[in-house]
Structure 1
Amino acid sequence: MNYLEVNDLTVTYRTQGGPLPAVRGVDLTVEPGSKLGIAGESGCGKSTVALALLRLLPKSAVLGGRVLLDGEDVLTMKWGRLRAVRWAGASIVFQGAMHALNAVHRIGDQIAEPILLHGGVTRAEAARRAGELLEQVGLPAARAAAYPHELSGGQRQRVMIAMALACEPRLIVADEPTTALDVMIQAQILRLIDRLIGDHGISMVMISHDLSVLADTCDRLAVMYAGRVVEEGPAAEVFAAPRHPYGQALGAAFPRIGDPASRRNPRGLPGDPPDPAALPSGCSFRPRCGVAEERCAHVDPTLWPAGPGRRAACVRVLDGTVEAPAARTAPETAVEETR
């Protein structure tokens, strides 16, 4: 049984200009102990999906579909049950730890707070557990007395990971947990997350714009564009040989290590994602797609089989005309140096 199952998830924001569809019919599954990555540009809907998993969106958001967490629908839970599920059933690591942590409270107290709420323990036991968690993420237990501003960016992110582990959840949602960190600290944090997830047997959903990070960290990968999943499959395969033109464009935006031609001629993707309030007809990616055809203006593609365990939302997948780029491998150089 899947620990997380998302069926036809929709998120529409109520705005003064009218409804804004941020997420449009997303389906995702996460098996116990597995790691799912969600990739895409800013504005594609991936962080909205992450927040929807635990109903952390503002009141202006209207949610539809189902988010089954261990068989229970998060979207229909009463507030009391939802409070019990957050932290204990599933927790989240936000991007930008300085904004997520309370600047006027010591980090030990912030880690202990969910333990006190969900663990039924004394303050002394919660404080001791907070110290143990800090040591698990590579910080001395004595740092529990520090305030967030007294820690570096990497240390604050470690605190966020310790908080996510505090109540021993079965699922962690990591929303761009390394975006603001330099490449070496990013590699250390990614290895820390990978080790802790493995040690505790926890499932994970990781959000990132960086395909290489997800290919190196996750088992499966879903690529989002304009509020929909446009490609999904085994992470290494989606990174190495994407089947959707958008996935190919994302992969091409990252230079290949050791390839002078790639370094001197970096490739990007012209234009911007479409305005959710004014989506183009047919395929949403059509205005930016280098291989768009006339039929793409009339067909709104869904996810079709694109190989063993893979699906892609492109009409070219149906007739086998998608040309995969030259095989790539996940760039592990910077990560390997920290092992």
Structure 2
Amino acid sequence: MNGSAQLLEFDDLSVTYRTGGGDVPAVRGVSLSVAAGEVVGVAGESGCGKSTLAATILRLQPPSAKVTGRVLFEGEDVLTMKWGALRTLRWAGASMVFQGALHSLNPVQRVGAQIAEPIRLHEPGLSDKTIDGRVGELLEQVGLPAVRARAYPHQLSGGQRQRVMIAMALACRPRLIVADEPTTALDVMVQAQVLNVLKDLVSDLDVGLLMISHDLSVLADLCDRIAVMYAGRVIEHGPADKVFTDPLHPYAAALAASFPHIGDLAARYAPSGLPGDPPDPTELPSGCSFHPRCPQRFEDCDRVVPELRGDDTRAAACLLLEAP
């Protein structure tokens, strides 16, 4: 989807979880890429496959998952890497900022020691003084004073903990950062601060960033491109501003319309939204998976599966785009 050299490429990726109740298709035929210095967003409601997609980058999916297709990091397939190469990839090649820093940080260990842990693992032989200096630099890079390295997680605010998670993700100087809903638990002011930190890091360090969120407005402000997922598939992708202001797919339009407009009384008293929830992956509807909730559905939608049509710049999977 981008002409420059790619850091990350999903090539027709599908992930199915094997459970006692049967197979659960979480990701279905996703192709997507991220280049150095680029921010790519993945949007969609809970259950649309976003986090499963992210987990495959570091091969964190459970053993019960059946994965087909390829996940290429700098041209090498993560899914077939030997353990030594995969161990090097994690932290040093690509790292992840998880949702909910309070649950991801060790509550009985100072945050400086937690940031230092991957450095000690991937760069053995460094002195304690050198590592402590690196930890202080990382904290300052994300807008925290170096002295906060001595704090425990409970002594930090939500926004500060999230910055610690970002500092930890940067500890081994990765080329790709994966941020899975990193601002969900934060208030809007702190959310804006954390997003600015991420934006500046991409610009200053020339890393790639894959940003996952249910909030299309957040992605529109931060990302270069956005891919919208529904029921495990990418149903629209394109430039962030276009997907937010001029969506092609009715589902992307519904996500964009759910963003509140301050001062708009009509939106206040009649908020936009969609009835129902994304389908159960074990009972996907026939035809277009979105058609039971689509306000623009027509006769063919319940029997024809729309393909992603367009080009590397802009595409959508909707029969409305194929209608004469």
Q: TM-score range by the shorter chain?
A: over 0.9
- The equivalent of 1:92 in structure 2 is 96
**2:38·2:202 contact (CA, 8 Å) conserved in 1?**
no
Q: State the percentage of identical aligned residues.
A: 65
Q: 1:18 aligns with which of 17, 22, 32?
A: 22
Contact 1:66 1:74 in 2 (8 A): yes
Q: For 1:88, what is the secondary structure of its paired residue?
A: helix
- Matched to 2:293, the amino acid is R
Do the aligned residues in 1 keep the contact of 2:195 with 2:222 (CA within 8 Å)?
yes
Equivalent residue in structure 1 for 2:314, among 307, 310, 315: 310
User: Do residues 278 (structure 1) and 283 (structure 2) align?
Assistant: yes
Name the structure 2 match of 1:40.
Answer: 44
Q: Given residue 24 of structure 1, which amino acid in structure 2 is its aligned partner? A: R
Distance 2:212 2:289 in 1: 21
C-alpha deviation, 1:314, in angstroms: 0.2
**Are residue 254 (structure 1) and residue 272 (structure 2) matched?**
no
| Contact 1:116 1:123 survives alignment (8 Å) | no
Could you tell me which residue of structure 2 aligns to residue 332 of structure 1? none
* Equivalent position to 1:200, from 200, 205, 220: 205
SS in 1 for 2:91: coil
Q: Hey, what's the Cα distance between the residues in 2 that align with 1:149 and 1:81?
A: 35
For residues 302 and 271 of structure 2, what CA distance do their matches in structure 1 show? 29
After TM superposition, list the pairs within 5 Å mapping 1:237-248 onto structure 2: 237-248=242-253
Looking at structure 1, the residues matched to 307 and 317 of structure 2 have their Cα atoms a distance apart, in angstroms, of 5
Q: Say what the alpha-carbon RMSD is for the aligned residues.
A: 1.2
2:141 alignment partner in structure 1: 136
| In structure 1, C-alpha distance between the alignment counterparts of 2:60 and 2:108, rounded to whole Å | 23
Instruction: Quote the residue 1:150 is aligned against.
Output: 155
| 1:112 maps to 2:116 | yes
Alignment equivalent of 1:181, drawn from 171, 186, 209: 186
Q: Say which SS state the counterpart of residue 3 (structure 1) adopts.
A: strand
Which deviations, in whole Å up to 9, do the C-alpha atoms of 1:175-233 show, x marking residues without a partner?
A: 00000000000001101111111110111000000001000000000000000000000
CA shift digits 1:66-105 (9 cap, x unpaired): 0000011011111111010111111000000011111111
1:162 to 155, 161, 167: 167
Corresponding residue for residue 331 of structure 1: none
Q: Deviations over 1:5-48 (max 9, x none)?
A: 11011111111001100001100011221110000000000011
Determine the structure 1 residue equivalent to 2:304.
299
The one-letter amino acid of 1:273's match is P
Moved more, 244-253 or 229-238: 244-253
**Alignment partner, residue 337 of structure 1:** none
Cα distance in 2 for residues equivalent to 1:12 and 1:123: 44
| 3-state secondary structure, aligned to 2:58 | coil
Q: In the alignment, what sits opposite 1:324?
A: none
Matched, 1:214 2:213: no
SS at match of 2:210: strand
Structure 2: where are the runs of 5+ without partners? none
**Helix, strand or coil: the match of 1:229?**
strand
Aligned mate of 1:73, from 67, 72, 77: 77
Please report the TM-score for the alignment, with normalisation by the length of structure 2.
0.96
Query: Residue 80 and residue 308 in structure 1: after superposition, are their counterparts in 2 closer, same or farther (change >3 A)?
Result: closer
CA-CA distance at 1:124 after TM superposition: 2.4
CA contact 2:10–2:31 (8 Å) conserved in 1: yes
What SS does the aligned partner of 1:184 have? Answer: helix
Distance in 2, Cα, partners of 1:54 & 1:308 = 25
Comparing 277-286 with 134-143, which one deviates more in the overlay?
134-143
- Deviation readout 1:146-192 (Å, 9 max, x if unpaired): 11111111000000000011111111000000000000000011011
- Segments of 4+ moved more than 4 angstroms: none
Query: Which digits, 9 at most, give the CA deviation of each residue in 1:238-288, with x for residues without a partner?
Result: 000100010011111112233222222211110111000010110000100
